[in-house]
Structure 1
Amino acid sequence: MGPTVLVVDDQPQIREVLKAYLEADGFTVLEAETAARALAVVDAESPEMILLDVGLPDTDGIEVLRQLRALPDPARAGAYVMIVTARSEEIDKLISLAVGADDYVTKPFSPREVVARVKAIMRRDRGPAEPEGLRFVGLEVRPTERELSVDGSAVELSALEFDLLVALAEAPGRVFSRVQLLEKVWGYDFFGDERVVDVHIGNLRRKLSDDATAPRFIRTVRGVGYKFVGERA
């Protein structure tokens, strides 16, 4: 059986189409038609990937994403999430990404494209299997365990935020452009605005308590991108 994908949409025909295409590519597919059912399935089954519609009948999908990312279990909170919506406003996209979505697709969509993007997200490099981890003053990253501590306290990140931090911390001092980070972390040609990187860097900084004006860990290189500036411990 392949990786488990939860399709959350109140329209049965959309769930059926996505299920058929995903199963044809070897995925195990679960379904939910409401926010409440989706959270119950996440609790019971811990899917690796969630296709989450915004326009659910009981709760907005973005609120579901907020609740998901706040779950105490890292395996459930860190599931990859692709927002699926009929709304095309840029603010919806940026809110979704700020809350912790890994990708975003607008209806009407090509089921083949959705499956390709799901596969690309799940092929992402999870980081090096280094038993000693990545240690810096005030920060320790353990890629194998997918754990992070800042100033001795555990910090929970989304799957994408963790991958982004590892990509930067593996090469201290190297400047990455937004395009390079998209290719390295997202793992495919991103169909959207490069500002998605800025949104996730902002989330990452907030969780690291890293001041962008006086960074301990991630510095903005104006007009280029970002680099990791933490000092080796």
Structure 2
Amino acid sequence: MAERILIVEDENKIAGVLLDYLRQSGYDTHHLTRGDEVEPWLEHHLVDLVLLDLMLPGKSGLDICKALRAGAPGRPAPAIIMVTARVEEIDRLLGLELGADDYICKPFSPREVVARVKAVLRRGTHAVPATEESLQGLVLDDAAWRATIAGHDLGLTAVEYQLLKVLSARPGRIFSREQLMDAMYQDERIVSDRTVDSHIKKLRRKIQERLPEYELIHSVYGLGYKYEPPPQPLTV
């Protein structure tokens, strides 16, 4: 799967250059021009990294960075690279203290941006570590694509793991089939609703085999699916 990058830049010429270079490097990219569009867009799309301009109409890059880093525990969080023409040291430090993974000053070489993107994604410093406490006994290991619950390995496929990760990151939130398809297949292939239902069915069965007394993934008629954690942390 191609890693997904969101470019938030109000200068279309700069954004166009970044889009071209990143796409040529194999990344799946999307562009927004306003700061107040970022959080609503991310409610419905998963990305690995955000290239975030500091000065934006609607909402500043620093406020966006702060909001993204204040997400719920266990929520998959994108890496953030701040991009700006303001080189004052206080802005640089503030951006990094708010949780940015890197900082690039304009003017810059597009090749340098691509190199920084690769370095940040390779480090994986943006990942929110899943813990047994934060997810009520569910532990997700992104490096091994391995999910355990109450110490039991669920034996998930890559698609099932991705589904569980998306659902469990936002307990109680209802995800439509379209949103789940977007998370499962980032190469924009065309799949049917039944494909999602089939994967959900298999995922439920594997959880039930380990924990028959709990139903963690619920169907919401006409809307989609949601994850509800158990009332108390599960133990082995």
Relative to the length of structure 1, the TM-score reads: 0.53
Deviation for aligned residue 1:75: 3.9
In structure 2, the gaps of 5 or more residues are: 136-236
1:123 is the counterpart of 2:103: no
Deviation for aligned residue 1:121: 1.0
- 2:87 alignment partner in structure 1: 88
- 2:58 alignment partner in structure 1: 58
Q: How many angstroms apart in 1 are the aligned matches of 2:35 and 2:71? A: 15
Aligned to 2:129, which of 132, 143, 146? 146
Q: How many angstroms apart in 1 are the aligned matches of 2:82 and 2:98? A: 11
Q: How many angstroms apart in 2 are the aligned matches of 1:125 and 1:44? A: 22
Q: How many angstroms apart in 2 are the aligned matches of 1:67 and 1:21? A: 28
Q: String of CA shifts for 1:46-66, please: whole Å, max 9, x gaps.
A: 211000000001111100111
- 1:190 alignment partner in structure 2: none
Deviation for aligned residue 1:73: 6.5
Q: How many angstroms apart in 1 are the aligned matches of 2:6 and 2:119? A: 16
Contact 1:46–1:75 (CA<8 Å) still a contact in 2? no
- 2:145 alignment partner in structure 1: none
Q: String of CA shifts for 1:48-103, please: whole Å, max 9, x gaps.
A: 10000000011111001111111227444x21000000100011010001100000
- 2:96 alignment partner in structure 1: 97
- 1:110 alignment partner in structure 2: 109
SS in 2 for 1:30: strand
Q: Aligned letter for 2:91?
A: D
Q: How many angstroms apart in 2 are the aligned matches of 1:110 and 1:74? A: 35
Q: How many angstroms apart in 2 are the aligned matches of 1:71 and 1:125? A: 17
Q: How many angstroms apart in 2 are the aligned matches of 1:108 and 1:74? A: 36
Q: Aligned letter for 2:35?
A: A
Q: Aligned letter for 1:93?
A: R
Q: Aligned letter for 2:89?
A: E
Relative to the length of structure 2, the TM-score reads: 0.53
RMSD: 2.4
Deviation for aligned residue 1:36: 1.6
Q: Aligned letter for 2:17?
A: V
How many residue pairs are counted as aligned between the two chains?
Answer: 135
Of all paired residues, the percent bearing the same amino acid is 37
Deviation for aligned residue 1:123: 1.2
- 1:4 alignment partner in structure 2: 4
- 1:33 alignment partner in structure 2: 33
- 1:225 alignment partner in structure 2: none
Contact 2:52–2:81 (CA<8 Å) still a contact in 1? yes
Which has the higher Rg, Structure 1 or Structure 2? 2
Q: How many angstroms apart in 1 are the aligned matches of 2:86 and 2:124? A: 31
Alignment of 1:151-162 (within 5 A): 154=134
Q: Aligned letter for 2:33?
A: E
Q: How many angstroms apart in 1 are the aligned matches of 2:75 and 2:110? A: 27
Cα 1:154–1:75 shift into 2, 3 Å: closer
Contact 2:74–2:130 (CA<8 Å) still a contact in 1? no
- 1:45 alignment partner in structure 2: 45
